[in-house]
Amino acid sequence: MQKLIIKGKRYLNGKILISGSKNATLPILAACILSNNIKLQNIPLVKDIFTMVELLEFIGLKVKIFKKQNTLEILNNGNKINTLAPYRLVKTMRAGVLVLGSLLTKYKKAKVSLPGGCAIGTRPVDLHLFALKKMGAKIKIKNGYIIAEAKKGLRGSTIKFPSISVGATENALLAAFNAKGKTILKNCAIEPEIRDLISFLIKLGANIKFSGRTITINESINKKLKANHEVMFDRIEAGTYLIASALVGERITIDRINPEIIKTEINTLKKIGVKIKKDKSSITILNSKYLKKINISTKPYPGFPTDLQAQLMVLLTQAEGTSKIKEDIFENRFMHVPELNRMGAKIETNNKIAIINGPTKLTGAEVMATDLRASVSLVLAGLVAENRTVINRIYHLDRGYELLEKKLKSCKAEIRRV
């Protein structure tokens, strides 16, 4: 098992290039099932992407990876297609459940493993299945698998989601691709990654309109079977490095981003007292000495993202006063708290609320990563802590952060993998 060793209190200077978005790439890869010949650029070379590629190959698509160019070429020339997503691939990478909508709308049947829970929660898929049933799919759950079929194809329907779900919105969008008639999705998630998926589906010939939280998909006949797409930047990676810069940056530029998409994160950091200079496709963070407490809840986009909650918590351990974070999206997303407290943080949690007393001096310790975003919060804590921090189980990190050590080392951090 690899570990990360970080020597804290090194002040960072330099530029960090943000990679393509993992959470935009995953649904777009599921959408490649719908086409014949796709070229995707700006792909982040992280574990979850390779797992999704393995799933597409298992289904029968041909995938070529050009690592140096962060490019994928995907062919689906209609040879033997296996409409099965096995447990071994879906259990480690829940987004594998997104092939359900694509397989159903194109091949009228699918057998997809239930993703099962993960560290941050039970991760149900009831909203995904609710939408597919409304479009005429017959669905049963057997031996841990979702067995779905639509012998006469899916039909358009008006679907109002009882609660907002990124994955369920994406699965419904994919399923609507070949549905007969009009599909109207209401109370949708509107994350930028969903907009990226929509722009990709439109390149494949879909007829999709977006207004507020309603997405309308009209039946379209001129489906394209070839498309190129450059995936958007990873706004959570960008937010992570913005917070790292606020913690230990002298002057750091976060490059290859669209600041318009992360307005909420920028305004939140400004409220805390972080000095931020915005440009067209980059943001520069200047040394921010005095940080102030804030109270904030995680919300669906455009609210403050749950995927940045652990990272923000580390910053608030350095802010003057008592801050409050309410985790409103997942039921168990405070696993980083005991590890941060072992490093000297003073954080109490009850149910969905974390109370962070600051400022506290953090000292290096041996800690353990539990999920993707909690593990990166331990890296941030290691950067600002005295002495040495050793982070175990860093395979969690490798699921979603491309070249993390390299990017931090290029800004003078003392970090190495052993």
- Interacting residues with ligand EPZ (CB under 6 A): 23, 26, 95, 121, 123-128, 165-168, 189, 306-307, 329-330, 372-373, 400
Shortest distance in whole angstroms from residue 387 CB to ligand EPZ: 29
What number of other Cβ atoms are within 10 A of residue 415's Cβ? 21
Smallest separation, CB 361 to ligand EPZ (Å): 29
In the bound state with ligand EPZ, the residue whose beta carbon lies nearer, of 176 and 372, is: 372
- How many Å is the Cα radius of gyration of the chain? 22
- Minimum distance between the CB of residue 329 and ligand EPZ, rounded to whole angstroms? 5
Cα distance between residue 39 and residue 244, in whole Å = 33
* Alpha helix (H) residue ranges in 96-216: 99-107, 126-134, 166-175, 192-203
Instruction: Please name the residue that has the structure tokens 């209609």.
Output: 78
- If the CB atoms of residues 251 and 352 are measured against ligand EPZ, the closer one turns out to be 352
32 is catalytic: no
362 or 380: whose CB is closer to ligand EPZ? 380
Nearest to ligand EPZ of 177, 330 (CB atom): 330
CA distance 152 to 130: 19
266 closest CA partner among 279, 251, 250: 279
Choice among 32, 118, 188, 411 that is catalytic: 118
**Closest separation in Å from C-beta 234 to ligand EPZ:** 9
Query: Sign of the CA dihedral 127, 128, 132, 138?
Result: negative
- Least Å from the CB of residue 219 to ligand EPZ: 26
The number of beta carbons lying within 10 Å of the beta carbon of residue 163 is 10
- 209 sits in which H/E element: strand 207-211
CA distances in angstroms from 320 to 144, 200, 293, listed in the order given: 49, 45, 6
Q: Which two tokens stand for residue 338?
A: 């005991």
Q: Is the CB of 187 or the CB of 218 nearer to ligand EPZ?
A: 187
Helix (H, G, I), strand (E, B) or coil at 2: coil
Three-state SS for 337? helix
Active site residues: 118
